[in-house]
Structures are given as C-alpha cells and as structure tokens.
Structure 1
C-alpha cells in the first residue's frame, strides 16, 4: 500500500485544485472541459486528460447478446463512459463463487481496485481497514441522478453502508413493492361463475371451486404450488400477523424474529389443514422448479403466489399451451382491516460496491457509476443521443440494456420505481404521446399497445412484458398495501456461526407441520430450541444488549 504521506499529498493537491475553482456543473454532457492532469477530480462528469484505469473482480459473465467483436470490457456501455470521462475498467478475474474468491484475495492481499460484495464480506473489509471511505466521493462526485435515486429511500439505504458515520460502500438497490401477489386465471373465475378473492376464506374457496369443477378441463386441476420453504406463501402468514424469515419490531420495541412468534401457530395450522384437503400441491416438497412451472404452463394450476415480475419467468409460456389463459394479479388475502401486509425487504440488492483503500482515484469509480446509470436508464439527453448515434452497437436481440456488460455491473433504481414506471406508461398511452416517456420504457409501452390490439395473439415475450409491466406493476401498488419496515437486515457474529443450522431447523419444522408429518406442538419445541441454541444470543447482539 502507499504510505500515509502519499495519500495526504494527493488530498492536498485535490483541495488546492478545488480552491482554484476546478469544480463544475453536473450536466452529464460530453462537452466538459478535460482535466489538465490526473490528480483527483471530483466533478461528477469531469474528464481526465489521460485514461484512468481500475481493475474489478466480477461474477462470471454469461452475456451472449453483444455485437460481434464486443466484449465485457469493450462495448457500447463501456465506451460511453470512456468517451465522456476517460475512465477504463479492466477485469481482474471472474468467478462463480465471489465470496470464496474474495476471501482468498483478502488472505493474499491481492484485491482488485473495485469489488461487489455482500454484507458479510463488506464487514470483513471494513474490519481489516482494506477499503476506502467514500463519503467525500459520494458528496462531491455522485451525479444528481444517483443522489435522487438513493434519496428515494430516505436515510434507509445509505445507513446500511455507513460505519461510524462514514460511507464505506455504494449499495446496489432492492426496489420496493416486490412482495408476493396472488396470480389468478381470470378465465377460470368466469368459467366457474366465481369472483376474484379478497379474504383468506375467499382464496381457499376459489381454489376449492377450481378443483371441484375441474376448471382446467383436464381432469387434473390442481391446487396451489408452494416453494419448499413455504416463503412464497407470505401473504397467507401475514393475514395472521405472522412474518416468517423476517426480523421485526416486537410490542416492546425490541427486534424479534418472526418465525418464532406465537402468531405463526395459527398460520401453520391453516396451511396444514389446506394441504391435507389438497388445496396445496401434495408433492410440492419434492417437485423441481421445472415441474412446478409445467403445472402452470400446461394449464393444470390456476392460482399461485409470485411477485410482479412473473412475466419474466417461464410462466409466460402458458399462453402457448392455453391461448385463452387470462392471468390477473390480486392483492389477496387481506386481513380483517382490509390491509394486504408485507415486510419491506432488505434495501440492498445484489451487493455493495467498494473501492480498495489505496486506489488513487476513488472518484473515478463514482464517475463510472454516474455515466453507466445515465446510459442504462437514458437519464440524460447525452446518453439518449449516444445510443441513437451508435445503432449498430446495441444488443443483438434488441432487449433492454441491463447492467451485466457495464464497467461496474451495478444496478440502482428508485424505491418507488414500479409506480413511476407504470404511471409513465399509462400517461404516454392515454395522451398518445410517447415523446416524454423514459427511453428504456418504450419496449413496455409497445408491448402494452400490441397486447391491447391482439390480446393473447402475441408472442410469449410480449405477453410476459405486458404481464409484468402492466398487470404486475399496477397491482404491486395497490392502495390497500401496508408495508411494514424490517427491523434488521445484517449479520451478527453469532449468526456467522449458528444461523445456517437455525435456518435449517426452521425450514424443516415448518415443512413437517404443513405436510402433517408432525403436530403443532412441534412448533413450541422448535421455538424453545431456537432460543437455546443461538437465537437469544443473536437477538441480544441485534438489540445491543
């Protein structure tokens, strides 16, 4: 590492430059004055005179839709950043096991300049004083677009990466409203003369009616498919005010674990009864994901829980097998107060971008993120025009550009982006003017328009785009939604040692109770064991006791 006096010298030069008036506007255009030398340059879009390079450790790239000759290091997205600020990325290594690779790199001291890490590795890097304080970089170099996106989370997001008040990483974001929705075959509802469900009784009654009247017409109409850990049934648990797998605030204000609260028993009793009745797939515990998908695609299942993005899964293929299929999303079941409850997920999605402590240009990393975000979401006129000027360099399948082939495969978006996205499409469609719609949303608008014209007589990808971006996003923002803040998202010292065993015990107990392999009294035994074998230690650590 460089010696302390060298780091001090760099910042002395930086301060001198700022006092000399080298800071500028946050325009994002390609016309910024070129920086005269390669001393730190905090301008969000300030260009270096000579290239500034950083190395990055990445997950193995599986992108296969780049134009011939383009690579993960050299493509339209990376060239945009280079052309505007003269910042280049070099892949240090790729891996299928980032945690193992970074753990080894920390041991050998061979860390790349930039890393995308999970919370556990982030904490290790901080504890070993291996990464840079990015507070000044964020405050001075983050674009207005990035700051606005982060700001949509309030203080909630950046607090996750602060240590002693310092910003030690830049989080990827996990947008809001990604909770489970109830997806229902509306054509089946009409066929059996029923109505879309609201309450939990409505949900079970509709599933029962589908099966009794063989709504599929196959003689094999099935009940709900369920994930092996039952977490996709969180809306059912929430009706009972139970929140398995989540850290929540207890009545006394202390953080408690949802899976060991007494409300769980009533929810498990209900699910066990419905499983026994056959309203839940009797083979859910042993079916592969492909087998579960096949039940839906082949038209044997007409109700399932899935988030808004169902159209980007294989379920969209159902219109190939059953062209009359009409899937709709419903915020059900609601509780006695008419609320559809969910817990706010961890705001950090995909990891945290960190910079090696002795890297001389941490502000260059922020510039790369600024311009990459502009490019991905067409946030500036310059980014829009750049893509228009290079039509032959776009992705070969004309898909929406994602973060994979960028310099830093980091994705950030507004907490309420689903609402913004949906309203953007609706306004453009109602006005007949798509000139103001954000460029990356045009594909969804076109899918909506084509679906309105042709119905299910569209290809599966167009149907999936409609299903997620119109039906799913609309319902994800249902006014009856009540989002409950999570109380804790991190990892404590005891969790590192004992959490895997506690989770395994939890999942096995829930599974056995639902399937009737053991009685409800097993839940009480599980709770007692959970507290004694690490749960109480973890809660004490979380609550600072």
Structure 2
C-alpha cells in the first residue's frame, strides 16, 4: 500500500488542529511522550495511571451486574489492576464511519479507534495514526503474537504501509465456509446415504421431496438466500466463486464474471425448476426461511460450523428426533471441497491517534483483554475465579463488548485446536487439561453421548457447532484457495454498489427462470463496461504492490 496525496482541505484542517490541540481530543500531545524500555514490557505496570479515550459503537450490553458500566466492569478492572491502564469512552455512535469522517475534519479524534478498511486508509493517507511497529514487536504478548503468526504473513500484511504496522487487526478465523447440513433421521427414514458429488446432493434432495420425508406433505429440498451466496459449495464444485476476487492464470479476476459461473447457474436454474429449491426463496423473510427448517419442512441446508448458535437448533423443540449431521459436499471432480479464504481482518482495525503519548499502553490493554477473554494465562483464570460474582449476569462467553477495547482476536486454526482439545478430553475422560472456555462444549458433548437428541436445545446447539460443525470444518478433503484481493478501490467507492445489485438481479433471474442462461453473457459485458474493467485494473495494481 502506498501513500496517496493528502486532501488539501483535510490537511489544512488537521494541521490547524495539531497546532491547537495535537489533532486529538485525548490524553496527551506528542511532545509529552516519555516512554522507558520498561514501559514497553508486555505486562509491566505504570507507576501512575495511563488513560486513553476511545470511540466506540453504541453499546447494547445489558447483562452487566448492577453498578457496573462499559468503563467499569470485571474485564476493565482486570486490566487496570495489572498495568494501571484505564479507558474512557469519548463517544458512542451507530455509524462509526460517518462519525470518524467528521472527527477527521475537525481534528477531534479519540486516542483509540476501531475502524473499517476505508477509514483506516484515510487515516493513513492523512498521517493521523501512530506507527505501531515498535510497539507490536516489543509490547505484544506471546499470546497475541502466537495468534497473529497463525495467519502467516496474511493478516499483518493487511495493515502494513511501506513495511510499517499501522494498526492491530481483529481476526476473522479460518474455515467458516458453508457446510451441507442434513437431517440424519430423514436420511435413515428414506434409506439414503450421505452425498459426495453434486448429483448426489440433488438426488438426496429429490428423494426427500418425493418421499415427503417431513411427513407434512410440503417437504422442500433447499432454502436459499436472495443473493444465492449460501450455495457457494455448489458453485465451488464447478470451480466458480461468486463475489470473490481470485487468482486465475496469473492475474486477479472477479469470480462472478468468469465462464465457470454460467455452468453453475444453469445447474441451479434446472433444479429450481424441478422444485428442489424453495420456490419462494426470493420473497421470504429470514424468519420465514428459518421456520422452514425449525418446523421440519426442510431437511437440508448450507450453513457454517456455528449453526448451533442460531435459531436452527430449535428444530429439536419441534421434533425431538431432529438429528443433524454436517457434510463437506459437494466435492469437485478431484474429490476436493473448495472454498475461498475469507478476509482475515474481521470486524475492524484498532488504530492509535498520532501524538498519543503511550501507544504501548494500548497494546498492554489488548494483551490482558485477550488473556481475560480466552483464559490464556493462569493469572487470568485465577482472577475470574476470584471475581466470579462480578461477571456478566447471563454468563455470556467471549463477549468482548464490556472490555476496554472491544477487539476479538483468535487463531486462524482455532476450530481445529478447539475440536482437538475436546476430543483429547473425551479420550481422557476429564476436562481438567483443556482451556477453561471450552469446558462447556466438552460437557455438552458428554451429555449428548448419554441422552442423544433428548438434551435441551442449548446443549444440542453447543454439540452441533463444537462437535459436528468443527469436525467437518476441518475435513481432510477441504481445499482453501487464497483470495486475490481484500479491500476497496477508488472506483469501488462509486460504482460497486450498483455492480453488486446488477449481479444479484442477474443471478436471481437466471435461477428462477425469469431469464435464460445467456443473460449471464450480457451481464458480463455490461459489468465490464460500467466499471468492472476499471475496478479490475485497480485491484490488479493494488494486489501487485
């Protein structure tokens, strides 16, 4: 990523603000910065309190104990007690990008911000945030560094500018692709077998419909999202990757306009016409689509590993025999189940206002918050035990909203680590040796093994996600394909929304038979002429830097 020219208006505004206030509404100026080598130590405690201000999305936390707040709760007190770092909320907003854009023009930036890629680029271009390279190298804890390094160079490369680390990214863990979930009790009922190929998948859906596996007289094959993206495994079996920038023949291209898409769309159109895809999928609300599954009208769907944390787990309430299994299907002609690696930056990037005197304090807060949320250290585990009465009233797991910096980081391969931990504990017959936050999953597994689908819905959901889902998310036949590009180009800002709308309309019309398959060729031609070629050129240039 190279620096672009600074906007004249913003530069003048911020220079003026720098003279008056240090271009920030926070807790110190650049010239006040006095940092010792001890201050850089990951867990060293300041003699005097160090405070930072933070701009946050509006908090919807309502499960804090009486008297606690976003600024003062068990998670924040843990950080304060260990390193003497305190956070103060500068403001809350429902539109972070708009709020930060306004703050940039006035020069009133908080010390810490969690920003989108777009705002990150603007802050970098206008030299408004700290270079965090030295802070990361010296102050990041072993736990945080291990997490980041699990992504190889992929993650930190997203926030490097001219080789400098300009922000600390939240993480988007790997293997969150769509899996095929099937009602095993229906499979047993019709005498079927788990599918592998595209034909196998459609044949099973056809069998469910023809034999009315639901017993309602209204059995459907699949539900589908309006943009058809939840059917990515079907597309991938044809080597088609809609909505993704991919590398092809040495160049970065947009998956939705590649010729492989045409064959995949023809397949979906054929099976929609046959009645194997919900005829009303384009007009159903999300709640109505969920109801098809929960009420036992649909016995197949595509969903990631975390299905058990959605309302789909409630299908067991309607039918105690509703047993779901996850399958990596369909596979391609080589037996591979393909998916594109999603953007490794998930949820945003933490940046520090340029001129804030103690950027290393922000790293310390992140170190301790990560330890706290995931019980990474004995100290964090002990603290939570000693202060258990101060925790969230509903015992939510991994809730990062009450923390000083609401930032989530985790290993790229955490799903495998998590699953392997549970399997080891199961073999040992005890959860004593596994990470504290995984005990609930181990216990749910034990209960499911004893009672089967007679467990309650929450226990069943935990089992579905952490055993069925995580196991299948790491299927040995999985082939993860690196994406060609993440991010936004200049022309995307102006034209991408219209291009996406055109793409979605094309896919819907072809799948539903409202347009012939040849409409795809016209779409590709129009897409290229109305900004697609220009964007592709920008993507190619940016990805080659």
Aligning the two structures, in what range does the TM-score lie when normalised by the shorter sequence?
Answer: over 0.9
1:147 is aligned to 145
Displacement of 1:528 after TM fit?
Answer: 0.7
Listed as ranges, the matches of 1:213-252 within 5 Å are: 213-251=211-249
1:472 is aligned to 469
Preserved contact between residue 395 and residue 401 of structure 1 (Cα < 8 Å):
no
Equivalent-residue separation in structure 1 for 2:159 and 2:442 (angstroms)? 36
Q: Summarize deviations over 1:314-349 as a string: whole Å, max 9, x none.
A: 000000001100100000000110000000000000
SS in 2 for 1:70: coil
Equivalent-residue separation in structure 1 for 2:31 and 2:510 (angstroms)? 64
Preserved contact between residue 185 and residue 327 of structure 1 (Cα < 8 Å):
yes
Displacement of 1:3 after TM fit?
Answer: 7.1
Equivalent-residue separation in structure 2 for 1:64 and 1:425 (angstroms)? 31
Is 1:203 the counterpart of 2:201? The answer is: yes
Preserved contact between residue 182 and residue 329 of structure 1 (Cα < 8 Å):
yes
| Aligned with 2:124 (options 123, 126, 142) | 126
Is 1:261 the counterpart of 2:258? The answer is: yes
Displacement of 1:401 after TM fit?
Answer: 3.6
1:371 is aligned to 368
1:99 is aligned to 97
Is 1:522 the counterpart of 2:519? The answer is: yes
Regions of 4+ moved over 2 Å: 1-4, 6-11
Listed as ranges, the matches of 1:291-370 within 5 Å are: 291-370=288-367
| Aligned with 1:63 (options 61, 64, 67) | 61
2:12 is aligned to none
Displacement of 1:201 after TM fit?
Answer: 0.3
| Aligned with 1:189 (options 187, 190, 205) | 187
Is 1:453 the counterpart of 2:450? The answer is: yes
Q: Structure 1 stretch 266-275 or stretch 106-115: which is displaced more? A: 106-115
SS in 2 for 1:543: helix
2:270 is aligned to 273
Listed as ranges, the matches of 1:485-500 within 5 Å are: 485-500=482-497
- What 5-or-longer segments of structure 1 have no aligned partner? 23-40
2:172 is aligned to 174
Q: Structure 1 stretch 452-461 or stretch 302-311: which is displaced more? A: 452-461
Displacement of 1:109 after TM fit?
Answer: 1.6
Displacement of 1:462 after TM fit?
Answer: 1.0
2:423 is aligned to 426
Q: Summarize deviations over 1:352-408 as a string: whole Å, max 9, x none.
A: 001111111111100000000000011111000001111211221223142111110
Query: TM-score of the superposition, structure 1-length normalised?
Result: 0.93
- Alpha-carbon spacing, 1:534–1:228, altered in 2? closer, same or farther (3 Å): same
Equivalent-residue separation in structure 1 for 2:540 and 2:181 (angstroms)? 38
Preserved contact between residue 29 and residue 356 of structure 2 (Cα < 8 Å):
no
1:160 is aligned to 158
Displacement of 1:65 after TM fit?
Answer: 1.6
Equivalent-residue separation in structure 2 for 1:399 and 1:466 (angstroms)? 17
Displacement of 1:433 after TM fit?
Answer: 2.6
Q: How many residues align?
A: 519
Equivalent-residue separation in structure 1 for 2:54 and 2:31 (angstroms)? 25
1:534 is aligned to 531
Q: Summarize deviations over 1:483-518 as a string: whole Å, max 9, x none.
A: 000010011111111111111111111111111111
2:505 is aligned to 508
Preserved contact between residue 42 and residue 137 of structure 1 (Cα < 8 Å):
yes
Q: Structure 1 stretch 472-481 or stretch 88-97: which is displaced more? A: 88-97
Displacement of 1:8 after TM fit?
Answer: 7.5
- Alpha-carbon spacing, 1:140–1:7, altered in 2? closer, same or farther (3 Å): farther
- What 5-or-longer segments of structure 2 have no aligned partner? 1-17
